[in-house]
Amino acid sequence: MEEKISRLRDEALRAVADSRNLAALDEARVKYTGKKSGLQELLKSLGAAAPEERPKLGALVNEAKQAIEQALGDRKAVLRQTEQDQKIAAEKLDITLPGKGIKRGRLHPLTQVMDEAKAIFGRLGFEIAEGPEAETEYYNFDGLNIPPHHPSRDMWATFFIKDDVLLRTHTSPVQIRVMEKRKPPLAIIAPGRVYRRDSDATHSPVFQQLEGFLVNENVTFGDLKGTLTEFLRQMFGKEKNVRFRPSFFPFTEPSAEVDVECVICSGKGCRLCKGTGWLEILGAGMIDPNVFKAVGYDAEKYSGFAFGMGIDRIAMLKYGIDDIRLLYENDLRFLEQF
Ligand code: FA5
């Protein structure tokens, strides 16, 4: 009996020491200390032993059980630590590896120039108004002193949607819409997209204009020139050469256009400026009395100036862009430069 206890104990201790992982150790625990284990059987059979032998044998079985349980506990602690170390090693992060770059978005150059133009006129006291891009013939033409069948309509190659509805060819219709609703004094800018059947290095079928107009008593051409000169100085700096040149628009009299020295050839003449050395950026003039008549203003009492500038052209001049179409191709290699 004593020998049997000692054998069982040695066998159990060896099995515990040989367990390679927690699952194997648990198997050993069930096998050597569970209800159906050899030790348990021995305890049960003690009744059959001689009475004087019983206390000694009972003590031996208990001692063997304690030794096995102690070994199980110690081995469990070791295996648990080993498994934890292996897990940590497997999950280790290399914090020296380069991270994933975060791409920064940026504003489109046209948005940047438009925002700058709005800010300049905001500081000069102009407020912002807006009008629809799908416009009626009346607001785009008739109200602006451009009657049907008049040859001056040819100045704007128009996309018609249906008989009376077109894609506005300029932001000037907003003049009429605002003046119909409000009385002078007015100082308004109207930014927005406009459309024409045009396409070359300086003409795009869709482009951005910024309209501006000011109506009050005693407004003069000097006020127009002063306002635009201040705008140009803030937008381009003092160094850039600009010129005012007489022109014609049905809705202004007298009329002018403003050119800025070509950024590509510095005025020498190139493909972009068609050899002139200048790029036209805006049309302007004193509001025609016929326009005041159309909106019900007293043309004897009020006078005003108006202008309409091409934001795309200003962006080209500011950033040295030699083809307007680049602004609409959404090529990131181009856009990421701004
Ligand atoms: C007009 O559109 C007038 N409504 C401007 C105006 C307003 C005059 C108020 C008087 C009073 P114009 O067609 O010239 O004018 O266009 C104005 C500016 O828009 C041009 O100077 C140019 O800078 C720009 N522009 C014209 N066509 C295009 C185009 N296809 N692509 C890009 N920019 C253009």
pLDDT of res. 236: 93
How far, in Å, CA of 124 to CA of 233, rounded? Answer: 13
Return the higher-pLDDT residue of 43 and 80: 80
SS3 content of the chain, % helix, strand, coil (to 5): 45, 20, 35
DSSP string covering 102-116: PPPP---HHHHHHHH
- Distances in whole angstroms, Cα of residue 295 to Cα of each of 19, 181, 248, 290, 303: 99, 9, 21, 9, 13
* Size (the chain), residues: 338
Confidence of residue 33 (pLDDT cuts 50, 70, 90): confident
Instruction: Answer for the pair 25, 16: CB distance below 8 angstroms, yes or no.
Output: yes
Q: Measured from the CB, is residue 209 less than 6 Å from ligand 1? A: yes
203 lines ligand 1 (CB under 6 A): yes
Q: pLDDT tens digit string along 204-253?
A: 999 999 999 999 999 999 999 999 999 999 999 988 899 999 999 999 99
Q: What's the pTM value of the predicted model, to 2 decimals?
A: 0.75
- Give the model's pLDDT for residue 204: 97
- Quickly state the pLDDT bin for 298 (edges 50, 70, 90): very high
Q: Give the pLDDT confidence score for residue 137 in this predicted structure.
A: 95
Q: pLDDT (tens digit, 9 = 90+) per residue, 135-172?
A: 999 999 999 999 998 888 887 899 999 989 999 999 99
Residue 311 Cβ inside 6 Å of ligand 1? The answer reads no
- The atom number, within ligand 1, closest to the CA of 309 reads 18
* Whether the Cβ atoms of residue 113 and residue 236 lie closer than 8 Å to each other: no
As a whole number, mean pLDDT of residues 319-330 equals: 95
Lowest mean pLDDT among 7-21, 31-45, 162-176, 254-268: 31-45
Centre of ligand 1 to C-alpha 283, Å, is 6
| Cβ-contact 238, 257 below 8 angstroms | no
Strand boundaries in the chain, DSSP class E: 127-128, 134-136, 160-162, 165-167, 186-195, 206-216, 242-249, 252-261, 278-287, 303-310
- Mean pLDDT, the chain, rounded, equals 93
Nearest atom of ligand 1 to the alpha carbon of 156: 13
Instruction: For ligand 1, pick from 146, 154, 168, 170 the residue to mutate: most ligand atoms within 8 Å of CB.
Output: 170
Ligand 1, atom 14: closest residue by C-alpha: 283
Please tell me if the CB atom of residue 196 comes closer than 6 angstroms to any atom of ligand 1. yes
C-alpha to C-alpha distance for 280 and 275, rounded to whole angstroms: 13
Cis peptide before 185 (omega within 30 of 0): yes
Over residues 181-204, the mean pLDDT reads 96
Query: Do 226 and 119 meet the contact criterion of CB atoms below 8 Å apart?
Result: no
pLDDT in tens, 119-137: 999 999 999 999 999 999 9
Residue 252: CB within 6 Å of ligand 1? yes
Measured by CA distance, the residue closest to atom 22 of ligand 1 is 310
Residue 206: half-sphere exposure toward Cβ, Cα within 13 Å = 10
Q: What whole-number distance in Å separates Cα of residue 92 and Cα of residue 82? A: 15
Domain 109-335 has CATH 3.20.20.100: no
If you measure from the C-alpha of residue 309 to the centroid of ligand 1, how many angstroms do you get, rounded to a whole number?
6
Report pLDDT digits (tens) over 236-246.
Answer: 998 889 999 99
Q: Which residues pair with 286 in a beta bridge?
A: 305
- Ligand 1 atom with minimal separation from the 314 CA: 23
- Among 145, 223, 312, 316, say which to mutate for ligand 1: greatest number of ligand atoms within 8 Å of CB: 312
22-31, 49-58, 62-71, 293-302: least confidently modelled range = 49-58
* Residue 66 CB neighbour total at 10 angstroms: 10
Domain ranges of the chain: 2-90, 109-335
Pocket test for ligand 1, best of 152, 207, 322 (most atoms within 8 A of CB): 207
pLDDT of residue 76 exceeding 80: yes
- The pLDDT value given to residue 4: 83
